[in-house]
């Protein structure tokens, strides 16, 4: 009797070998007996990403004069907008425009292509209805570009220009959100990550700021606006940080391009007669929180949420609209009855048929036109003939007339000559008689 020791691989449901660690349905975690080396994988990913460089698109929306350009300069410590190239808000716009500027930032070997999308003219007119439409159109067009790039045959280069984050600037009134703020955020919260900020926060005292923040969060919840939510991580420490950030939402920020001296240190700040408001001081404003969150900890998450949630929403809506009737547009794309490829084939066939039909139609039309033209030509030929005849007849008539006239003329001429002859004869006779008379007279 032999007992065969069989080492059953882990993907079978059961195993009797003592070497297996546990009986379970899923992949088992095995202890390694030596150094394999795939712990290096994150480093490889990191190196590849660093070589490729990163892209990030940030959109800033708010009325003019809320310090958007200054805040961007402060966040990225570059003068994207300077005196020589003033920000869009320095130029007065009559309608809402969407302008983008790209800048390449390098730090520690990592390259970041930063695109800032600005919306000058937002909320500045007397009548601001639909001032959010250009913004929505811009975001949709970027998603569409990406969708087309994804569906292409050659996908080697897929630049990601989708808007990853939208900073919405709220004016520091101290009371609550304005109707414009609510409308805008309601329309954009499912297209892009919206992060509301309180601009020019040095206008508010700490108590006013607290009240204002509470009021804003209350209104945001009332109107069911979904602002960007920080994901919970497994790390407890991180979670504590995240909870602190969540309590401070919306972040009250102050921006400054100017460096002033405080207690011997040089800091970015705003110099007032009654003190200096420091931008990077956590007790003065939430700027450092915003910067850390936006750049140091959550940039990748913002991009992921844009890719997985907002872009997918857009994509499924777009593709569902394309498929014909019979498909419920509320179903997700996983439940569509036709896969996109088959759908494309059908479309192509339809397209070809349509082309054929159009061709046939055009041929018909062409033939008809040719017939018409021929008929017309015939008609005009007949007409020409008729006219020709008529002209000939006219000419003959005229000729006859002329002949008549000529005859008459000849007759007259003959008459006149005859008359002349008679006259001459008379004259001769007269002179003869005169001579006779003279002779006679002489005799007398």
Partner 1 sequence: CLSNTDTCTRGGSTLLGYIGIDTIIEQMRKKTMKTGFDFNIMVVGNSGLGKSTLVNTLFKSQVSRRSAGWARDEKIPKTVEVKAVSHVLEEGGVKMKLTVIDTPGFGDQINNDNCWEPISKYINEQYEKFLKEEVNITRKKRIPDTRVHCCLYFISPTGHSLRQLDVEFMKRLSHSVNIIPVIAKADTMTIEERQEFKQRVRKELEMGGIEFYPQKEFDEDMEDKNDNDKIREAMPFAVVGSDKEYQVNGKRVLGRKTQWGIVEVENPNHCEFAQLRDFLIRSHLQDLKEVTHNIHYESYRAKRLNENGGLHPISCNDTQESNL
Measured distance CA(112)–CA(114) in Å, rounded? 6
| Binding flag, residue 124, partner 1 (CB under 8 A) | yes
Q: Is the dihedral of CA 249, 254, 255, 259 positive or negative?
A: negative
| Binding flag, residue 215, partner 1 (CB under 8 A) | yes
| Binding flag, residue 210, partner 1 (CB under 8 A) | no
**Which one among 89, 119, 193, 306 touches partner 1, defined by CB under 8 A?**
89
- Say if strands 54-61 and 110-118 run parallel, antiparallel, or are unpaired: parallel
Strands (E), 49-121: 54-61, 99-107, 110-118
Q: Lay out the sheet containing 194-198: strands in order across.
A: 99-107, 110-118, 54-61, 165-170, 194-198, 251-252
Site stretch for partner 1 (CB under 8 A), options 146-154, 273-281, 371-379, 431-439: 273-281
Measured distance CA(418)–CA(414) in Å, rounded? 6
| Binding flag, residue 302, partner 1 (CB under 8 A) | no
Residues in region 278-297 near partner 1 by CB under 8 A: 278, 281, 283-284
Measured distance CA(91)–CA(160) in Å, rounded? 29
| Binding flag, residue 274, partner 1 (CB under 8 A) | yes
| Binding flag, residue 183, partner 1 (CB under 8 A) | yes
Q: Is the dihedral of CA 204, 208, 214, 215 positive or negative?
A: negative
| Binding flag, residue 275, partner 1 (CB under 8 A) | yes
Residue 171 Cβ vs partner 1, minimum distance, rounded to whole Å: 7
**Which one among 159, 206, 231, 340 touches partner 1, defined by CB under 8 A?**
206
Query: Tokens at residue 100, please?
Result: 């983008």
Residue 71 Cβ vs partner 1, minimum distance, rounded to whole Å: 13
Q: Are 146 and 312 in contact (CB under 8 A)?
A: no
| Binding flag, residue 107, partner 1 (CB under 8 A) | no
- Residues 11-50 as x/- pattern, contact with partner 1 by CB under 8 A: ----------------------------------------
Residues in region 404-443 near partner 1 by CB under 8 A: none
| Binding flag, residue 90, partner 1 (CB under 8 A) | yes
| Binding flag, residue 263, partner 1 (CB under 8 A) | no
Measured distance CA(194)–CA(274) in Å, rounded? 35
Residues in contact with partner 1, counted by CB under 8 A, come to a total of 42
Q: Dihedral angle at the C-alpha atoms of 413, 414, 415, 416, nearest 10 degrees?
A: 50
CA-based end-to-end distance of the chain: 205
Residues in region 44-73 near partner 1 by CB under 8 A: 63-66
Q: What element of type H or E holds 169?
A: strand 165-170
Site stretch for partner 1 (CB under 8 A), options 15-23, 127-135, 366-374, 389-397: 127-135
Measured distance CA(184)–CA(63) in Å, rounded? 12
Q: Which residues contact 75 (CB under 8 A, 6 or more apart)?
A: 255, 290, 291, 294, 295
| Binding flag, residue 394, partner 1 (CB under 8 A) | no
Residue 268 Cβ vs partner 1, minimum distance, rounded to whole Å: 13
**Which one among 176, 186, 230, 343 touches partner 1, defined by CB under 8 A?**
176
- Binding site residues, partner 1, CB under 8 A: 63-66, 89-90, 92, 124-129, 131, 171-176, 178-180, 183, 200, 202-203, 205-206, 215, 270-278, 281, 283-284
């Amino acid at each position: 009797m032999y007992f065969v020791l069989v080492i059953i691989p882990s993907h079978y449901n059961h195993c009797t070998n003592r070497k297996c660690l546990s009986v379970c349905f899923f992949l088992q975690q095995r202890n390694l007996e030596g150094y394999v080396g795939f712990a290096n994988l994150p480093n490889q990913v990191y190196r590849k990403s660093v070589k490729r460089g990163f892209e990030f698109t940030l959109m800033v929306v708010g009325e003019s004069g809320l310090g958007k350009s200054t805040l961007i300069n402060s966040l990225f410590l570059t003068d994207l907008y300077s005196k020589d190239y003033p920000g869009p808000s320095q130029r007065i716009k009559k309608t809402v425009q969407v302008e983008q500027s790209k800048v390449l930032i390098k730090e520690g070997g990592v390259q970041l292509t930063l695109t800032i999308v600005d919306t000058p003219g937002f909320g500045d007119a007397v009548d601001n209805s639909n001032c959010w439409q250009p913004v929505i159109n811009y975001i949709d067009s970027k998603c569409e570009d990406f969708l087309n790039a994804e569906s292409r045959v050659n996908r080697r280069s897929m630049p990601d220009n989708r808007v990853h984050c939208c900073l919405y600037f709220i004016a520091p009134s101290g009371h609550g959100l304005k109707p414009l703020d609510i409308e805008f955020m309601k329309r954009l919260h499912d297209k892009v990550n919206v992060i509301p900020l309180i601009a020019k926060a040095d206008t508010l005292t700490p108590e006013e700021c607290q009240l204002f923040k509470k009021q804003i969060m209350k209104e945001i919840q009332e109107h069911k606006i979904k602002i960007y939510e920080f994901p919970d991580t497994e790390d407890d420490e991180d979670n504590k940080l995240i909870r602190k950030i969540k309590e401070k939402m919306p972040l009250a920020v102050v921006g400054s391009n100017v460096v002033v001296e405080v207690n011997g240190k040089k800091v970015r700040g705003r110099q007032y007669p009654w003190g200096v408001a420091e931008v990077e001081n956590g007790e003065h404003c939430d700027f450092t929180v915003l910067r850390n969150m936006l750049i140091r900890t959550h940039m990748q998450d913002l991009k992921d949420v844009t890719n997985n949630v907002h872009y997918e929403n857009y994509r499924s809506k777009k593709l569902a609209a394309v498929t014909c009737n019979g498909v419920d547009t509320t179903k997700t794309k996983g439940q569509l009855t036709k896969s996109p490829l088959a759908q494309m084939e059908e479309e192509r066939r339809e397209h070809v048929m349509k082309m054929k039909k159009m061709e046939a139609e055009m041929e018909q039309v062409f033939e008809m036109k040719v017939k018409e033209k021929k008929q017309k030509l015939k008609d005009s030929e007949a007409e020409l003939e008729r006219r020709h005849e008529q002209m000939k007849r006219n000419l003959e008539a005229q000729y006859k007339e002329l002949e008549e006239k000529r005859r008459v003329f000849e007759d007259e001429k003959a008459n006149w000559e005859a008359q002349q002859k008679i006259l001459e004869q008379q004259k001769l006779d007269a002179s003869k008689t005169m001579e006779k008379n003279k002779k006679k007279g002489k005799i007398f």
